Structure 1
């Protein structure tokens, strides 16, 4: 519950000012501004994607080795990838994506934009609530010297959940990347109620 609340607070601290400033100033990005914001958005997405892919590969690596120190090192790197690549990449892509939506397309004007921010929020909350917990549980289980990692049921459960969770997040990020390029759905028909 604490992870959810901290994540919600961070998301609100990013989303509310970006949307408020954009709406109050009626921001419209020109072509040059839009290109630079897209570049920054793509860089944050690359950071995010690289961290998730690294976590997936390292967790996959732990399935095939027996050396306790290597397994611990892999999970230690997974934790640092989470802190220094995934979290800033996810929050940066959220902030730049919202700014692009406010200044170029509108937050709720296009179906593909709505799907992108819902997908990004889903991965952010899933990662902070579940994946972060599995990382900590795996490291804790590894720190107990009474079990070898491959005989420790707590570690094995966390390992499998990390692998599955990373695969889910990777799949969502690939889907969101495809949506960004293809823009498969058109503009929503909005009622102009007075």
Structure 2
């Protein structure tokens, strides 16, 4: 990139090395992020409700079907929803004023999203598969604390998704070290003009 001159005699103005989205593009990505995040949240709520049905006496005959539906929801809602939220969030973080590593709330959301994805696979999905395998051929199979573990995992997912939503709305905390240095560079560039 070559420096630009704004007026005769002015110092050259350097273009920013970071690309920012146009307002319409930003809105489209933000809408996509909200839609997939709401879908992910809805999937977590549905899994929680199916887990509760499978645990109660009312749902005794529905136990295998509830666990099967949880497994399907995990595959077709939770996995695509979490990946969509991660990808759209990263795009928004990279190409808007927030940046990925410049604000603590964005860093925290990123870590919570990745942590939720790992937790969902390692804990929730595996417990659902175990519960399904145990109840598939025997409605009255004693699965011990597995039913409560499935519900607890779904509750944890709901809490994490609520916290990430709150972070998006409230935007707490200060800038990270990278964010403070970038802000300082912008101030110096403006005062040098």
1:91 CA displacement: 0.3
Q: Name which one, 1 or 2, has greater alpha-carbon Rg.
A: 2
CA shift, 1:132, in A, is 1.1
Q: Which has the higher contact order (CA 8 A, sep 6+)?
A: 1
- Any idea what SS the aligned residue of 1:127 has? helix
- Name 1:84's counterpart in structure 2: 76
Q: Which residue of 1 aligns with 2:6?
A: none
Task: Tell me if 1:167 matches 2:160.
Answer: no
Residue 61 of structure 2 aligns with which residue? 69
**In the comparison of the two structures, how many residue pairs are matched?**
163
The answer to which of 59-68 and 129-138 deviates more is: 59-68
Where do 1:69-148 residues align within 5 Å? 69-104=61-96, 105-145=98-138, 148=140
Q: Distance in 2 between matches of 1:141 and 1:189?
A: 50
CA RMSD of aligned residues (A): 1.7
In structure 2, the partner of 1:22 is none
Cα distance between partner residues in 2 of 1:67 and 1:173? 27
* C-alpha separation in 1, matches of 2:133 and 2:28: 42
After superposition, where does 1:139-158 map in structure 2 within 5 Å? 139-145=132-138, 148-149=140-141, 152=142, 155-158=143-146
Alignment partners' CA distance in 1, 2:73 and 2:80: 10
Deviates more, 1:64-73 or 1:41-50: 64-73
Deviation at 1:68, TM superposition (A): 4.4
1:189, distance to aligned residue in structure 2 (A): 3.4
More deviation in 40-49 or 67-76? 67-76
After superposition, the C-alpha distances for 1:26-71 in whole angstroms (9 at most, x for unaligned) are 4311222111111000111011111111010111112222564311
**Equivalents in 1 of 2:58, 2:164: separation in Å?**
36
Unaligned 5+ runs, structure 1: 1-24
Runs of 4+ with deviation above 4 angstroms: none
Within the alignment, does 1:51 sit opposite 2:43 as a pair?
yes
Normalising by structure 1, what TM-score? 0.78
Verify the 8 A CA contact 1:112 1:185 in the aligned structure 2. yes
Query: What is the Cα deviation at residue 144 of structure 1?
Result: 4.2
Question: Normalised by the size of structure 2, how large is the TM-score?
Answer: 0.79
| Partner SS, residue 38 of structure 1 | helix
